[in-house]
Chains A and B, each alone.
Chain A
Amino acid sequence: MIPPVLRLGRTFSVRLAPRGAAACAVLAAATAAVALVSLGDGEVRIPLPDVVAALTGRAGGLERTVVVGWRLPRVLLAVLLGAALGMSGAVFQSYTRNPLGSPDVIGFGTGAHTGALVAMILLGGSYPQVAAGALAGGFGTAVLVYLAAGRGGVRGARLIISGIAIAAMLAGLNTWLMTAAKMEVAMAAAAWGAGTLNGVGWEQARPAIAVLALLLPAAALLSRPMRQLELGRDTATALGLRTTATETAMITIGVALTATATAAAGPVAFIALAAPQIGRRLARSAGTALAPAAFTGAFLLVTADWLARTLFAPAQLPVGVLTVVLGGLYLLWLLIRQARSPGA
């Protein structure tokens, strides 16, 4: 069966795999459902019809303030950052052709934490300073890992181990920075370092949403060249793809997505690692698929954030603590499965 194709003009066309589209639709519905539940849940409980009324502007007063003013920016950011992380993971995994290739594994998160810690402890730590510090740290570390892996080491074991090595060094540095800081600063820094959406309001959410509104569609455009590239550079070249340009675009957009997420919420672990793989299995697609990865990421992060916010109420866990635990379990499962399947 030849799957239907969606065309927009001459240049843009998407092959619609029915199974993939169905998976995306189900994931989107699930994400929306969890988002609605999350908007109603918390210290002030708001029943579902009232949540919808507040969102559509038919309710005012306290309900609207709680739902739209307090909880919506956080939930919306969770959805978007989840999608961003899922896509960036898909791009990295496609590029490294390794299901373990993700910004976490190559040390981006740890480096971003170092940068943010420096901003928090030495510069005072306003939100823009922390975001800038995180970006500098993350990019710096990614470059360092890339260089340390050496020539020909981009795909495979060397890159991963170089990432582990440099991340371990930075983790040592981070721990020390934390011990040197005051208790309150250290605790805020630890929460940030785990990745957290606690205390996110519209003023923090707005810039991230604006950036992602540009980046997410840009990433979606990579979908087709990425699949061609997965066939191998030679084949892709023969198909008329400019491989170097595509690879540069992939790395740029992948890093930019992670960077935005990290600047907004800290290094939320493992979503980028897990979402592409789960999405790919749900959609039963052959290669790394961007759309399922994005929807899975959104679903995972919005669910994790809801649980992190309400599970131990009144205390709030950083969402990253939850994702690292779930993601660690997932990675273990992935390794076991990979080993069992013949020839993987």
Chain B
Amino acid sequence: MSAKRTDHRTLWLAAAAAAVLLAAASSVAVGAQDLPITDLWHGLWARDGSHEARLVWGSRVPRTVLGLIVGACLGLSGALIQGYTRNPLADPGLIGVNAGAGLAVALAAGTLGVTTVTGQVWFAMGGALVAAVAGYLAGSAGARGPSPLRLTLAGLALGALLTGITSGLALLDPRAFEQGRAWSAGSLTGRDLGTAWTLLPFLAAGLVLALACARALNAVALGEETATALGLGVNRLRATLVAAVALLAGTATAAAGPIGFVGLMVPHAARWAVGNDQRWVLACTLLLAPALLLSADVAARVLLSPDELPVGVVTAFLGGPALLAVVRTRRLGGS
């Protein structure tokens, strides 16, 4: 590894850090209510119960913090799935993991009356775990092993199945339908700062697991046989990975609803910038994904002002073309 290459990657990482800071700043600064920069500054530092302070600390800062956490969760889980399955189309939304989390949240709300985010997180993680394992097993069954298209289709089928059950439940119960409607679009609104902070440990745990996998993922890129020959426990890696993906995707879904495509787009961009070393990809994703989600959220507030789009709609409209671009530039094995 030449020193020049390392410099280049450090530069990209610094740029990603700058992007996330910029996105966070604009997320606090921009909103439905035009707030002059001096008032904003005042509201940010003087927590005196003034109008500006309440607006900034009651709505914009929580939203920004939530966006940072959810974005990081989505990006990391996407990077992990893509890194392991070598499926360029993997995204927790696209392969049914978010749908599993969604169904679990709907079931928990409908049957057990669990409506707090901290309560829902556990159910969401359980649902995400089951969906991730089921999708992977279905997509990789048989002698030929997993191919990107088969994994994607298995995820699509699973997602359709789980979303179908969720919408069936909702349609049988108008109250649940009304509650689920806003959530199902994917949105960062309506959470307070305390809730946002309670999610941080989950992200931290997921991040630790993800980083623990990074070196092993690099070895697996050489092929699983080679990795085993190098003394890597492939089963342990799989278990850690699935736990990390479920933790991250579950947290994101419980907090903000099913937001698609962030986990698809960012790891691609990260790989393009810093190469295939998973440690760098994960680090870069950790910064770029929140930057993307927050920028999308700012756009969601501004585009139809004074109305707001759910951020999930914006990411879908960014992600669709990105997915098409991936399909057009990469060869997809299998059918």
A161-B335 in contact (CB<8A): no
Check: A7 CB closer than 8 A to any chain B CB: no
Closest to B326 in A: A161
User: Measured between alpha carbons, how far is A314 from B140 in the docked complex, in Å?
Assistant: 41
A335-B157 in contact (CB<8A): yes
A-B contact pairs, 16 of them (CB 8 A): A150-B328, A158-B327, A165-B320, A168-B94, A168-B261, A168-B316, A172-B316, A173-B316, A176-B310, A190-B171, A191-B171, A269-B160, A324-B163, A335-B138, A339-B141, A339-B150
CB-CB < 8 A to A148: which residues of B?
A: 324
8 closest A-B pairs (Cβ-Cβ)?
A: A339-B142, A328-B161, A172-B316, A324-B164, A169-B320, A331-B157, A165-B323, A321-B168
A149 to chain B, nearest CB (A): 8
A187-B149 in contact (CB<8A): no
Check: A317 CB closer than 8 A to any chain B CB: yes
Check: A332 CB closer than 8 A to any chain B CB: yes
A325-B168 in contact (CB<8A): yes
Interface residues on A, range: 35 or more
CB-CB < 8 A to A156: which residues of B?
A: 335
User: Measured between alpha carbons, how far is A176 from B186 in the docked complex, in Å?
Assistant: 9
User: Measured between alpha carbons, how far is A322 from B328 in the docked complex, in Å?
Assistant: 34
A304 to chain B, nearest CB (A): 12
A160-B161 in contact (CB<8A): no
B154-A332 in contact (CB<8A): yes
- A259-293 near B? 1/0 per residue, CB < 8 Å: 00000000001100000000000000000000000
User: Measured between alpha carbons, how far is A166 from B327 in the docked complex, in Å?
Assistant: 12
Check: A13 CB closer than 8 A to any chain B CB: no
CB-CB < 8 A to B152: which residues of A?
A: 161, 164
Interface residues on B, range: 35 or more
Partner of B323, one of A161, A321, A339: A161
User: Measured between alpha carbons, how far is A156 from B310 in the docked complex, in Å?
Assistant: 33
Check: B156 CB closer than 8 A to any chain A CB: yes
B167-A190 in contact (CB<8A): yes
Residue pairs across A and B with CB atoms within 8 Å: the count is 158
A335-B139 in contact (CB<8A): yes
Q: With A157-B149, A269-B160, A317-B171 known to touch, is A168 a contact of B185 (CB < 8 Å)? A: no
User: Measured between alpha carbons, how far is A190 from B176 in the docked complex, in Å?
Assistant: 13
User: Measured between alpha carbons, how far is A191 from B181 in the docked complex, in Å?
Assistant: 13
Closest to A97 in B: B335
- B280-318 near A? 1/0 per residue, CB < 8 Å: 000000000000000000000000000101101101110
B313-A332 in contact (CB<8A): no
Check: B144 CB closer than 8 A to any chain A CB: yes
User: Measured between alpha carbons, how far is A173 from B171 in the docked complex, in Å?
Assistant: 20
Secondary structure class of chain B's binding surface, majority of residues: helix
A331-B328 in contact (CB<8A): no
CB-CB < 8 A to B186: which residues of A?
A: 175
Q: With A164-B156, A324-B164, A325-B165 known to touch, is A172 a contact of B335 (CB < 8 Å)? A: no
CB-CB < 8 A to B163: which residues of A?
A: 324
B89-A161 in contact (CB<8A): yes
Secondary structure class of chain A's binding surface, majority of residues: helix
B171-A325 in contact (CB<8A): no
CB-CB < 8 A to A173: which residues of B?
A: 313, 316-317
CB-CB < 8 A to A6: which residues of B?
A: none
Q: With A161-B332, A179-B182, A339-B144 known to touch, is A324 a contact of B323 (CB < 8 Å)? A: no
CB-CB < 8 A to A320: which residues of B?
A: 164
A327-B160 in contact (CB<8A): yes
A167 to chain B, nearest CB (A): 9
A186-B181 in contact (CB<8A): yes
B164-A328 in contact (CB<8A): yes
Closest to B165 in A: A325
Check: B67 CB closer than 8 A to any chain A CB: no
User: Measured between alpha carbons, how far is A160 from B309 in the docked complex, in Å?
Assistant: 28
A157-B168 in contact (CB<8A): no
- A176-190 near B? 1/0 per residue, CB < 8 Å: 101110010011001
A14 to chain B, nearest CB (A): 31
**Chain A residues in the interface with B (C-beta under 8 A):** 98, 100, 148, 150, 156-158, 160-162, 164-166, 168-169, 171-173, 175-176, 178-180, 183, 186-187, 190-191, 194, 269-270, 312, 315, 317-318, 320-322, 324-325, 327-329, 331-332, 335-336, 338-340, 342
Check: B190 CB closer than 8 A to any chain A CB: no
Check: B153 CB closer than 8 A to any chain A CB: yes
A335 to chain B, nearest CB (A): 5
B316-A179 in contact (CB<8A): no
CB-CB < 8 A to B317: which residues of A?
A: 169, 172-173
User: Measured between alpha carbons, how far is A209 from B263 in the docked complex, in Å?
Assistant: 45
A321-B171 in contact (CB<8A): yes
A321-B141 in contact (CB<8A): no
B86 to chain A, nearest CB (A): 15
B127 to chain A, nearest CB (A): 15
B285 to chain A, nearest CB (A): 20
B94-A312 in contact (CB<8A): no
Check: B49 CB closer than 8 A to any chain A CB: no
User: Measured between alpha carbons, how far is A178 from B158 in the docked complex, in Å?
Assistant: 23
A176-B313 in contact (CB<8A): yes
Closest to B168 in A: A321
B324-A162 in contact (CB<8A): yes
Closest to B149 in A: A157
Closest to A273 in B: B157
- B120-161 near A? 1/0 per residue, CB < 8 Å: 000000000000000000111111100001101110111111
Partner of B167, one of A183, A194, A338: A194
CB-CB < 8 A to B57: which residues of A?
A: none
User: Measured between alpha carbons, how far is A335 from B161 in the docked complex, in Å?
Assistant: 14
Q: With A157-B149, A161-B89 known to touch, is A169 a contact of B316 (CB < 8 Å)? A: yes
